[in-house]
Amino acid sequence: MLFDKKSTPPLAERMRPQNLDDIVGQQHLVGPNGPIRRMVAQSSLPSILFWGPPGIGKTTISRILSREVNRPFKTLSAISSGVKEVREVIEQARRTSNLVLFIDEIHRFNKSQQDALLGAVEQGVITLIGATTENPSFEVNSALLSRCQVYTLKALTEKELLDLTQKVLENDGILSQRKIEIKEHEALIQLSGGDARKLLNLIQVVTDAHPENPLEVTNQLITDVVQKKPALYDKNGEQHYDIVSAFIKSIRGSDPNAAVYWLARMLEGGEDPKFIARRMLIAASEDIGNANPTAMIMATNTFQAVTMIGMPEARIILSQTAVYLATSAKSNASYMAINNAMKFVQQTGDLGVPLHLRNAPTKLMKDQGYGKGYKYAHDYPNNFAEQNYLPDEIEGTTFYEPGDNPRENDFRKRMKFFWGDKYNY
């Protein structure tokens, strides 16, 4: 059977799932006990925000949801639509009950555009499903956010990408007619980066470039076909994540020159300055922490400043802070401490609070020993009174290990002075 390539939809469209069982990945949402599966079972659909990287099913799940609960579906792109288009859809919805409005890249809507949705969502005129690659806590205004359920989608794992690849070769109407064997898959997995759409596009490019039958797909064949000079910056694609990763790693690695270079790449590519400022705020805590607490203040002020000023002047503020963070002393001790503590909590469960640390607002609690023996630190020399603050079962456990920098070395000496050998300082 011959196919006309000009009239045949792309592979990613041909393989778009038609029901929840067809979806590869996102089992925490669409699996047997997932919230999306329950919505379909109950024929209910609240307003939703789907948050996650590109190419992992946000649009597809939205379409399936609408179809499964038998609701009309309308799509808008925040890139090309404004308040006028939003109001037109809302008027249409008033005539068509239970309309589902899907807005892709909803984080690109400004405040007035988002505000235009509020009344219709609150009154139930429309059911909103928004898709965003950015944290909705920052990019969606609080009034709209409070009216939506937020679900996080995850990049596909290596196994899920391999499962999807096999599914394509077995079920696609065109490729299933050929004898195609994936001899090596590392290049496919690496280049797709957890993005199902990118994986399908790669498969199509490779198989179109090599029509021979049978075909053995190797890492070399893949890289030979797709090798090309990348764009300066694709803020919706892989380079968005690669370049911001290089930026943060340059800050972590104390290289201000590299940090400013990657910052320039992002700004020249049209990246949102607030996105960059948020990433620096995270780095100020994760990678610098108490080695230099002023870094957090600088990063917070930077976020506020670029929000008020905008480009092109915001580039100066971003550069100043990037250089400051890169040249600052570094410590990930607080980051590691909370990770260690959360892992420990997951392993040990809900250990009891020692009685002397418990609050005793009632006589019964006091009679039971709540608060008995507690030492108020400010009543003692150096504002310190030695007593156990952890559950009895884990007394003496160390989660925080001060970093090797002047400030945290002072912390270490102070803790050693207070606690002696109780903690590993």
Could you report the per-residue pLDDT of 13-52, keeping only the tens digit for each? 899 999 999 999 889 999 988 999 999 888 889 999 999 8
> What pLDDT does residue 237 have?
53
Question: What is d(CA 242, CA 269) in angstroms, rounded to the nearest whole number?
Answer: 13
Question: What is d(CA 384, CA 380) in angstroms, rounded to the nearest whole number?
Answer: 6
> What pLDDT does residue 138 have?
76
Q: Which stretches of the chain score pLDDT less than 70?
A: 1-7, 227-240
Instruction: Name every residue whose Cβ is closer than 8 Å to that of residue 321 and which is 6 or more positions away in sequence.
Output: 277, 280, 298, 299, 302
Stated as kind and residue range, the H or E segment containing 49 is strand 48-51
What are the residue boundaries of the structural domains of the chain, listed by start?
26-152, 158-226, 238-327
> What pLDDT does residue 87 have?
85
Could you report the per-residue pLDDT of 236-265, keeping only the tens digit for each? 555 667 788 889 999 999 999 989 999 998
- Of 295, 285, 195, 201, the C-alpha closest to 241 is 195
- Of 45, 66, 127, the C-alpha closest to 93 is 127
> What pLDDT does residue 236 have?
54
User: How many C-beta atoms surround the C-beta of residue 274 within 10 A?
Assistant: 17
Total residue count of the chain as it appears in this document = 425
Amino acid letter at 342?
M
Q: What would the two tokens of residue 298 be?
A: 């600088």
**Superfamily per CATH, domain 26-152:** P-loop containing nucleotide triphosphate hydrolases (3.40.50.300)
Backbone phi, psi, residue 333, to 5°:
-60, -45
Q: Render 41-85 in DSSP notation, one character per residue.
A: HHT----EEEE--TTSSHHHHHHHHHHHTT--EEEEETTT--HHH
Say what the pTM is: 0.57
What is the dihedral sign for C-alpha 272, 273, 278, 280? positive
Question: What is d(CA 47, CA 60) in angstroms, rounded to the nearest whole number?
Answer: 16
Question: What is d(CA 316, CA 383) in angstroms, rounded to the nearest whole number?
Answer: 44
Q: Render 312-342 in DSSP notation, one character per residue.
A: TTHHHHHHHHHHHHHHS----HHHHHHHHHH
Query: The tokens 């009174």 sit on which residue?
Result: 385
Stated as kind and residue range, the H or E segment containing 363 is helix 363-367
Question: What is d(CA 83, CA 265) in angstroms, rounded to the nearest whole number?
Answer: 31
Contact 100, 68 (CB under 8 A): no
Helix axes of 111-123 and 83-95: crossing angle, nearest 10 degrees: 10
User: How many C-beta atoms surround the C-beta of residue 62 within 10 A?
Assistant: 24
Question: What is d(CA 423, CA 396) in angstroms, rounded to the nearest whole number?
Answer: 6
CA geometry: angle 261, 139, 76, nearest 5 deg: 110
Contact 53, 195 (CB under 8 A): yes
Helical spans, DSSP H, in 102-211: 111-123, 136-139, 142-145, 158-171, 186-192, 196-209
Fold (CATH) for 238-327: Zinc Finger, Delta Prime; domain 3 (1.20.272)
Say how far residue 141 (Cα) sits from the centre of its chain.
18
Contact 151, 48 (CB under 8 A): yes
CATH tag for 158-226 (out of 3.10.310.10, 1.10.8.60, 3.40.50.2300, 2.40.110.10): 1.10.8.60
Contact 95, 120 (CB under 8 A): no
Burial class (CB within 10 angstroms; exposed 0-12, middle 13-18, buried 19+) of 315: middle
Check residue 193 and give left, alpha or beta (phi > 0: left; psi -120 to 50: alpha): left
Q: What would the two tokens of residue 344 be?
A: 């420990």
> What pLDDT does residue 316 have?
95
